[in-house]
Structure 1
Amino acid sequence: MSRKQAAQFDRALAAFRAGDPVLIHDFADREGETDIVYPAEAVTPADVARMRNDAGGLVCLALSDAVARAVDLPFLDDAVDHPAAGDHDLGYDDRSSFSLPVNHRDTYTGITDEDRARTITELASMADAVDAGVDYGPEEFAAEFRSPGHVHLLRGAPGLLADRVGHTELGLALAAEAGRAPAVVVCEMLDDESGAALSPDAAREYARRTGVPYVEGEELVEALS
């Protein structure tokens, strides 16, 4: 890793430790997308609004495999009994990371910035508690959260970057290094004019303009593997 790349990684790690977002571009030969990624416990309604307005993709929350297993979260394609589920034929991966979409039970419709921020931070608190060894299982999860909902859950691979290098694992690995809960929010950055994924050059310009650190997925893999 070059000195410049090491400095970019250090900025990204410092941002996550402070509860601030980072921009992560995965790989040109994978999704080729840049996501804005937050430590979940720090997300506010204003952050959800930023993801809606500045990013425009799907707001998802990634949980570590250990947390997902503790509360018995399935992969969505295993839970849905319909011919459309499974057999993804994805061009960039073997399977989808999607699990259940949920709302916290104290939300109303679940879609407002306030409701989604509430669901996100409560999920982060749950993940932090499970990670700390609190006895919390499927019944406790169901008492707090309902499905279907408006925050889409993703299951991280068991070995994180050793198993998979999607935004789910890149974000969770960064959270682990930063001492954050094993829960991160990811949202794809889209181009307003073309509707396509925001180009790396445009993502870097957004990073320069806003002060959000930008880092390449390969740099994270090198630093965190």
Structure 2
Amino acid sequence: MSSTHPDVDAVEAARAAFARGEPVLIHDAADREGEVDIVYPAAAVDPDAVSRLRNDAGGLICVALSDAVAETWELPFLADALEHPATEAAHLDYDDRSSFSLPVNHRETFTGITDDDRALTIRELGRAADAAAEGAFGADEFASSFRSPGHVTLLRGAPGLLADRQGHTELGLALADAADREPAVVVCEMVDGDTGEARTPADARAYAEREGLVYVEGRDLLTRLD
């Protein structure tokens, strides 16, 4: 049942769906990016999930990692890793800084861009993040398993999650934590195929209803998960 039904608690429905490995649609805020992302637990992603993200979302497919995992793997913010004038004095109208880190492929992929390849990279990132959270997958293991540049962009979550930042990166990671999932989530913006603009919350709700998925507002996650 979709959370658009009035009797369903959207936050609890999102938590339960995520615990089962199902995607959730999250709208951040009208005064932020104003976008709806499809969000998956990373370890649950298969080629069909990548196909959904490509065809039904259409934005950039990224994997958000907790700050602790990013630190364990010694992942930089991309802007800090590049020495190029384009990275200087970067400013975002909706945030203090970008959470982008390295783009990677799993070393067992071929080109890295196919649904099978991206699903493998994403799924293995999820498994590796789970192991890293237990102290069993460090920076050396990460470098042995993944290569950069690649076709799956990594995002670094803020250290205090929702207390520090309220982007889809943190909203997804907070939901994963509440659902007892690995500290790695896939986020992909929903883009309107006709206008090329961000899909409206109303359209995203309608999509969720058609597909039997959960839609939740970021403000509700902030209230319940912060």
2:83 maps to a residue whose letter is: D
Alignment partners' CA distance in 2, 1:79 and 1:92: 22
Partner residue, 1:27: 29
Percent identical: 65
Cα deviation 1:150-185 (Å, max 9, x = unaligned): 000000000000000000000000000000000000
2:18 maps to a residue whose letter is: F
Cα deviation 1:168-221 (Å, max 9, x = unaligned): 000000000000000000000000111000001100100111111000000000
Cα deviation 1:17-41 (Å, max 9, x = unaligned): 1000000000000000000000000
1:58 maps to a residue whose letter is: L
Gaps of 5+ in 1: none
Gaps of 5+ in 2: 1-5
Corresponding residue pairs, total: 222
RMSD across aligned C-alpha pairs, in angstroms? 1.3
The answer on whether the counterparts of 1:5 and 1:219 sit within 8 Å (CA) in structure 2 is no
1:9 CA drift (Å): 1.0
Partner residue, 1:17: 19
Partner residue, 1:213: 214
Alignment partners' CA distance in 2, 1:88 and 1:24: 26
SS where residue 86 of structure 2 aligns? coil
Please say if 1:68 is aligned against 2:70.
yes
1:137 CA drift (Å): 2.4
Partner residue, 1:107: 109
1:6 CA drift (Å): 6.9
2:45 maps to a residue whose letter is: V
1:140 CA drift (Å): 1.5
2:65 maps to a residue whose letter is: L
Partner residue, 1:195: 196
2:57 maps to a residue whose letter is: A
Alignment partners' CA distance in 2, 1:86 and 1:218: 32
Partner residue, 1:89: 91
1:190 maps to a residue whose letter is: V
SS where residue 185 of structure 1 aligns? strand
